Structure 1
Amino acid sequence: MSAVVIGASGGIGGALADALEEEGEIVLRLSRPEIDVTDEVTIAAAAARAGSPELVIVATGILHEDGRGPEKAPGDLDPAWLARQYTVNAIGPALVAKHFLPVMPRAGRSILAILSARVGSISDNRLGGWHGYRASKAALNQLVRTLAIEDRRRNDRGIVVALHPGTVDTRLSRPYLQSGRDILAADRAAVQLLDVIDGLAPKDSGRLFSWDGTEIAP
């Protein structure tokens, strides 16, 4: 199987690429500046040279940047920071789908897996806060659902899915890790996510699954 990992310089992305290679898969590792999910030109160029991968994993995302982080109250909302989170967490993966789905196999099993988050589940939101991250991931989950419906017309065995990697000890989440919570090392999270991917069927397309294989309600 040929695979593409976008965001391969990140903690989870790198661990996913390592795990796939350990399984003997051919992996194209993509990360900035070669591909930037905020720059459609780089996405299109990467897709043009990716061949026809059977698996594409999007392991990009933003939670904090340049001193800005998750909002704690409505008074923390900032239009530019909200737009930045939507750009990276939702629009970027959608553009990856726009350019990569057409080059993936048109017959047989193929998978576009995009890392999302449990906090993007509207029904699971009981604490509030983290407005932009929650909303951008909820938007991503809706995009995944819509893309899955449309991609079925291209390949009836194609799968487009969102995956929650759990709370992983990476640069993205490290400032917000809390003792007492189940925290996964990146290599363990990668193996768990690949196990979930291995078990996916076309009927699972458009859904959001956790690292342990359980489905998360939208």
Structure 2
Amino acid sequence: MDVGKLFRRAAIFGASGGIGGALASALADRGIEVWAGSRSGEASDRRYRSFRFDLTDESMIAAAAQAMAESPPELVVVASGVLTLPDGTGPERSFRHLDAATMEEVFRLNTLGPALIAKHMLPLLPREGRSVFAVLSARIGSIGDNRLGGWHSYRASKAALNMLLRNFAIELARTHPQAVVTGLHPGTVDTALSQPFQANLSKGQLIAPRDAAQNLLAVIDRLTPDDSGKVFDWKGEEVPA
């Protein structure tokens, strides 16, 4: 199944990032009209229709959705998130390192921002035919798969995101029976997010953004309404809740 035959239009929130940029490029290569969103609103490719958005500013998210309303996308991907904050604050190794302000910022970017995008973009999805709303999540957000602990804010923000995606899937199915809401775990991708943690990776574990994009699109190709509300990794395997 070719994703290019499934969607006419796609919107990427976070198209200036490594994975988001690779997804936008791969979709444009397949002839799909791409809305590419970033904080600057500047398109890196003339094939894109660019828009500005900020995860912490709902009015900007609402304006972006309004701009797409006349020709809405059938595929929406939220390819944003944070592991290390701009000031260098990284994931907590212990509960002794917890800081309320840090936790609030991580949740604002990893959980609240995608939720607000869902609030404004899910109503634009067509009620008939296949559509997909996908958010980059992480295996580390799985409660059942947690064996190491630590990284408290990041884990908790992704676990909360996964719960929201499940909620959205249940609600959306009432009016959009062919729609899919999903979280996607891309693996460890060679981006700024993973840069501080690449030194200890085994050979072959780091994935190039272009390969990650192709992996994720292959997963999206195979999703059905029965998969809605679940999280899948880049190989297409379901991540435990």
Q: Report the TM-score range of the alignment, normalised by the length of the smaller protein.
A: over 0.9
Partner residue of 1:30? Answer: 37
Matching residue of 2:208: 185
- Select the residue among 78, 81, 97 that pairs with 1:58: 78
Amino acid at match of 1:164: H
* Inter-partner Cα distance in structure 2 for 1:26 and 1:121: 33
- C-alpha displacement at 1:153, in angstroms? 1.2
Name the counterpart of 1:127: 148
TM-score, normalization by structure 1: 0.98
Moved over 4 A (4+): none
1:117 Cα deviation from its structure 2 partner: 0.3
Partner in structure 2 of residue 44 of structure 1:
62
Identify unmatched segments of 5+ residues in structure 2. 1-7, 41-51
Amino acid at match of 1:53: P
- RMSD of the alignment, in Å? 0.8
Secondary structure in 2 aligned to 1:113?
strand
Aligned residue type for 1:192: N
State the alpha-carbon separation in 1 of the partners of residues 189 and 28 from structure 2. 21
Comparing 31-40 and 136-145, the one that deviates more = 31-40
Which amino acid letter does the alignment assign opposite residue 216 of structure 1? V
1:127-149 alpha-carbon deviations (Å, 9 max, x no partner) = 11100000000000000000000
State the alpha-carbon separation in 1 of the partners of residues 126 and 201 from structure 2.
44
CA distance in 1, matches of 2:117, 2:88: 27
Does residue 1:113 correspond to 2:120, yes or no? no
What is the CA–CA distance in structure 1 between the aligned matches of 2:18 and 2:33, rounded to whole Å? 19
Percent identity between matched residues is 54
The equivalences for 1:105-184 within 5 A come to: 105-177=126-198, 178-180=200-202, 182-184=205-207
TM-score where L is the length of structure 2: 0.89
Q: How many residues align?
A: 218
* CA distance in 1: counterparts of 2:11 and 2:21, whole angstroms: 11
**What's the CA shift string for 1:72-115, capped at 9, x where partnerless?**
11111000000111111011111101000111111110100000
Give the secondary-structure state (helix, strand or coil) at the position aligned to 1:80. Answer: helix
Deviation at 1:179, TM superposition (A): 2.8
